[in-house]
Every structure is written in structure tokens, then in C-alpha cells.
Amino acid sequence: MKRSRSITPVLDTSALVPLGSPHKAKKLKLHASYVSDSPFPNFLHPTPSDAQHVHDLLARTHPTHNAVRKTPTATSNSAKTCGNVPNVVEALIGVILSQNTSGRNSASAKVSLDAKFGKNNFAAIAAAPRADVVDAIRQGGLANKKAATIQNILASIKEKHGDYSLQHLAETDEDKRLSDDAIMKELISYDGVGPKTASCVLLFCLGRDSFAVDTHVFRLSKVLGWVPEKADRVLTQAHLDLRIPGELKYGLHVLMMQHGRTCKGCKRSSSGDACVLKTYVKQRKVNASGPDASDALG
């Protein structure tokens, strides 16, 4: 099974911090701790079989939802498609704009940002008065924090690479192609970029096998018993990125997001509405010493 990278401090939105923050060292240290070892080494779920069963179950439950990896296109709205665009900096900005808001609001904020400064005119965004960037992305919520994060990241990229570009992360030449771990380290080194944001760029923009844990995936991982109850979102991503087979990461992430958004039965533990994942978990417990639960569920 392919081993991935991971990890950082708590929620991505709490990582919206000023340039020069001490969070950088903490993020990189935490990431290094779980590149090859889970934070829960004695917790053996999910197995590859578990991941496959849930993937197949959700694919049957949401048959019209396409969980096949899509090639990034320049015309996509990066804030609505989890960063599914070929430009790495645009993908990064898109994922930041999508934090803690709806797809509609984040997409609107990206359209407004492009209209104000020109599509991918990162120099103009970086040089603009903060208030102008805030005004352009106001529809997406948390505009003050997100504007500061975007401008600080652009300044850091320019300082490090001499240009507003991270296209070296998308290099496909085998002699120049960076490892997933190297890309993760680069991305989380920027203040305001946590493991979920970095993982989305890896998964959707760069076509790498990374397992991003957003609010929906985190909640459903608890429902499925894939992580201990004490696990936070960051440690959940560290654990699942190592446990889930690489070929399932894209589809499973997309399907879990779709299910989390649409299923009323798993949003609250006290909900009386039906949920195929809750049924799956109950059936597994009933058949713990019998036939495989996936067979019992059809």
C-alpha cells in the first residue's frame, strides 16, 4: 500500500495566521512525525478491505456522482472544485477561499477576485491594498483573514522562488518530479496552509494520491470507527492517509464529501433518519464473527 505524507496543527482555518508565524516549525515537526507512522499505531482500521467496501457502498448510494479523477482544466473555478485547476497557486488560493463557507459563496468570491485583479494576476493581488482584496472576496466569508493569508502566501512564494509560481510542484519529468512528501513540506511551510489545504492541492491539482480530511470526511470517519474518538482532524488525516490505499483516496474522498453533504441520517448521532453507513457499521457488528458485512449489505 502506498504510504503518503500528512499533517499539522488543528483546523486549517485556525492556521490563518500572519506571515512569520511560529506555527511553521510546529507544522513541519508534526508532519515529519507521521510521514510513515500513524499517530494511532495500534488502531488497525480502516483496512484496505474496509476502504474498498465503503467506497463501493457509497458509489452505489450516489450513482450519479462522478468519483473518477478529473483532469484539471484552466476554466474550472478553483474555489468550487477543491483546487481542480492546473495552476498550483490558483489551486491553493481556491482551496483557501473554500474554507468555512459554501461552494456557491467560495465560487462567487473567486469570480469576484478574478474580475477585480485579472485571472491569476498574482502580482496585482499581492501589491493591492489589503482592503481591496478583502472587498473582492467578501462573499466567501472570513474575508479579512483569507485576504491576509493569500497576500502573505504570495509574498512568501515571491521571496522564495523569485516569481509568483509554484509550477515546479507540478513537474512530471521523472528527473525533476518531486515526491509527495516534498510537495507537502513546501505547501505547509506557508503560513495559512494546513494539511487539509495542502492535501487538496496534491489530490485535485497535482493528481497525487493524498487523502484530504474535511469536515464531512472527519465526521464520517468517526461514524465508521476508522479513528479513535479522541482523534482530531489533523491526526485523523495523518492516520487515514497511511491506512487508505492510494488508488481509493480520490474516489473515497469525493464520495464521503458527497454523502456528508446530503445524508441527514449521519449528521447527528441522535438523528432518526436512515444512513447507509450507520447500517453498514451495525451490520458489521452483528456479523463480526460471521460473513463479511459487505456481502450482508449486498
Domain boundaries, the chain: 21-69+210-296, 88-205
Task: Please compute the mean of the pLDDT values over residues 228-252 and round it to a whole number.
Answer: 96
Q: Indicate the pLDDT class of residue 6, thresholds 50, 70 and 90.
A: very low
Contact predicate 50/248, CB 8 Å: no
- Rounded CA-CA distance 283/54 in Å is 13
Q: Indicate the pLDDT class of residue 5, thresholds 50, 70 and 90.
A: very low
Contacts of 1 (CB under 8 A, 6+ apart): 48, 245, 246
Look at the domain 21-69+210-296 and name its fold: Endonuclease Iii, domain 2 (1.10.1670)
- Cα–Cα distances in angstroms (integers) from residue 252 to residues 42, 47, 66, 75, 263, in the given order: 23, 14, 11, 25, 16
In this structure, the number of other CB atoms found within 10 A of the CB of residue 192 comes to 27
Domain pair 21-69+210-296 / 88-205, same fold:
no
Q: Does residue 18 have a pLDDT over 50?
A: no
**Backbone torsions φ then ψ of 234, nearest 5 degrees:** -65, -45
Q: Does residue 137 have a pLDDT over 70?
A: yes
Residue 290 has a pLDDT of 57
- Rounded CA-CA distance 280/53 in Å is 9
User: Catalytic site residues?
Assistant: 196
| In CATH, 88-205 is 3.30.390.10 | no
- How remote is the C-alpha of 10 from its chain's centroid? 13
Per the model's pLDDT, the better-predicted residue between 108 and 297 turns out to be 108
**191-219 residue pLDDT tens:** 999 999 999 999 999 999 999 999 999 99
